[in-house]
Amino acid sequence: MGGGVDGQQLADFLRARRADAGPSATAGVRRVSGLRREEVAELAGISVDYYTRLEQNRTSRPSAQVVAALAAALGMTETQRAHLARLADHPVPPPPRTLEADPALLRVLEQLDAVPAHVMTDLGETLAQNRLSVALFGDATLHTGLERSTYYRWFTDPAARKVFPEDIRERESRTRVAELRATVVRRSDAAAHDLVDRLRRDSAEFAALWDAHEVITRTSDRKRLDGPTGPLELYYQFLTAGTSDQLLLVFTPVDGTGTAELLAHL
């Protein structure tokens, strides 16, 4: 926010998206493609006069609720929704919550056999794992409720820390909290805030670290883990498919540490 409303681009964008939107089921034979203004207004729950003034750049900034309703009415993609929000000088809404792995990330995961890898949401919910990830971390897809989140399990279930050597757990706790803070600020939705509220209530350690207001965004790091076949030295990389709500985490062995050989025996 802060750039002001670009009313003309907003009007032009709405007209273009309306022309691209499919006809309604009851529209019958049409002379032009797309939806009529009356149909968009009805779908968005606003008056035809107000929508017409938006398309003609003759009104003030639409509210965030109206912007969201118009995006839904016009069947906009996530990228288009974000663009519309920016044109109206509103925060970009977080993507719709889903607990199904992104197909593009899943296709990559299915090709990874020699290294641990899994797909997870930005709130730490594991959506899919390969065989080595399950062998190293357990089947995290079996958890339900708040326990789906690795952030929640880290601070409420001692078993979640077993694979991490004791001397790095304090640093890992700080890093996870700082990482979650960045995610919560970016998402700013109910799911993120509910997770933090429960963690503050259920973990004194988390509450103290949260109040320190540290913030980071990790794209890669190096970890020491206690694997079933011996100590592992791993690089890990966060990969996305163009959105930030799902991540593919890939763990690769550090050369010269014997980790590749240990992974081969998992």
| Residue at 94 is within a domain | no
Comparing 13-22, 45-54, 106-115, which segment has the lowest mean pLDDT? Answer: 13-22
Q: What is the pLDDT of residue 243?
A: 72
Res 2 pLDDT > 70? no
Instruction: For 119-172, write each residue's pLDDT tens digit.
Output: 999 999 999 999 999 999 999 999 999 999 999 999 999 999 999 999 999 999
pLDDT, mean of residues 245-255: 95
pLDDT of the residue at 62: 93
Do residues 110 and 81 share a domain? no
If you average pLDDT over every residue of the chain, what do you get?
A: 90
The predicted pLDDT at position 95 comes to 66
Same domain? For 247 and 163 the reply is yes
Based on the fold, state whether residues 154 and 27 are members of the same structural domain.
Answer: no
Q: Which of 34, 53, 87 is the last residue of a domain?
A: 87
Q: Which residues contact 249 (CB under 8 A, 6 or more apart)?
A: 117, 118, 119, 120, 236, 237, 238, 239
C-alpha dist (Å) from residue 32 to 9, 14, 184: 22, 16, 44
Do 251 and 191 share a structural domain?
A: yes
Range of the domain at 82: 7-87
CATH number at residue 193: 3.30.450.180
Q: How far apart are CA 13 and CA 244, in angstroms?
A: 24
Read off the pLDDT of each residue in 104-116 and give the average, rounded to a whole number.
95
Contact 215, 181 (CB under 8 A): yes
The residue among 91 and 53 whose pLDDT is bigger is: 53
Q: 202 with 234, same domain?
A: yes
Residue 146, domain member (yes or no) = yes
For residues 232 and 149, state if they share a domain: yes
Tell me if 98 is assigned to some domain: no
> Do 107 and 82 belong to one domain?
no
Q: Would you state the pLDDT for residue 130?
A: 97
Domain count along the chain = 2
